[in-house]
Amino acid sequence: MNMSVIEIVLLAIVTFIFAIDQFSLTEIAYRPMVACPIIGLILGDVKTGLVIGGTYELMMIGNMPVGGAQPPNAVLGSVVAMIFAVKAKMDINAALGACMIFATFGQYVVTFTFTIMSGLMARADKAAEEANPKGITQVNLISCLILGTLFAVIAIIAYVGGTAMSEPLQQLSKNASWFMGGLSVAGGMMRFVGFAILLKIMLANDMWGYLLAGFVAALVIGNVKALSSATLLLVAFIGVAIALNDFRVTGLNKKVEEGGFSDGI
């Protein structure tokens, strides 16, 4: 069992910050593509943090809260996925599949916090009526303290449990390879499901051609040995070029519709 007090403390601190950042602060730092490399730095494996962060971001990119309905929590999912992958030595896809249980549990933690805070809103309303900004700030700080503390405690429990379960999980992967294989397949599929949810919301009918062209470009470039390592970057440049050209053509058409160009005189 390889535990470190420094790792536990740092993990609790960053999880506390990420929990608050979901609804306050930057609202960017808690995203998996930012949070996982930071957690990887703490746990001593930044490379795994980058891989899990990018993959998990694709899984969560189409998930967003709607009213009081909360999606699987990105913060707890990121923390647990990193702990399983780094401390419990699980396959990355299997870790991503297993972390969704905790990410779903995170929904209830957020909802529980909101339920508690709904009873304190009367204090904030009273402070607003009295023109008392300190009272409003106090209510906000209580909310942040509750949410951050709950997430930090769960992160510590996940760290201790994940580290303690390292050897049993490795034995499970050998003796029940079908189970770990199932988790790996589930984790591998989720990145496509997350992106599909986003496309369902954003993709317009006239954009299907660009989407299919992007897949073709990725396949072609990916099979060229000299270019394969930069496939995504090159496809992104092609997308930027198409977007800039579309913007220019659309701007020209708009100018023509408005009555032509002005020579500035």
For the chain, the farthest-separated pair of C-alpha atoms sits apart, in whole angstroms, at 81
Res 154 pLDDT > 70: yes
The yes-or-no verdict on residue 264 having pLDDT over 80 is no
176: pLDDT strictly greater than 90: no
Q: What is the pLDDT of residues 242-263, one digit of tens each?
A: 888 888 887 766 665 655 555 5
Determine the average pLDDT of the residues in 197-222.
Answer: 79
What six digits make up the tokens of 152? 């930090």
Band of residue 40 on the pLDDT scale cut at 50, 70, 90:
very high
pLDDT band (50, 70, 90) for residue 181: low
Instruction: Classify residue 69 by its DSSP letter.
Output: B
Q: How far apart are CA 70 and CA 197, in angstroms?
A: 15
What pLDDT is recorded for position 173?
59
232-241: pLDDT as tens digits: 889 889 989 9
* pLDDT tier, 41 (very low <50, low <70, confident <90, very high otherwise): very high
Torsion of CA 19, 62, 36, 225, to 10 degrees: -170
For residue 73, give the nearest of 3, 23, 126 by alpha carbon. Answer: 23
Quote the DSSP letter at residue 71.
Answer: P
Q: Tell me if 113 sits within 8 A of 70, measured CB to CB.
A: no
pLDDT tens sequence across 62-97: 666 666 667 788 898 899 989 988 888 888 888 888
Looking at residue 208, its pLDDT comes to 80
Q: Which of 132-141, 163-172, 208-217 has the lowest mean pLDDT?
A: 163-172
Q: What was the pLDDT predicted at 178? A: 58
**Beta-carbon contacts of residue 236 (< 8 Å; ≥ 6 apart):** none
CA 259 to chain centroid, in Å, comes to 46
Write down the pLDDT at residue 211.
79
- Percent of the residues in the chain that have a pLDDT greater than 90, as a whole number: 15
Q: What is the pLDDT of residues 48-59, one digit of tens each?
A: 999 898 888 887
- DSSP assignment of 102-154 equals HHHHHHHHHHHHHHHHHTTHHHHHHHHHTT-HHHHHHHHHHHHHHHHHHHHHH
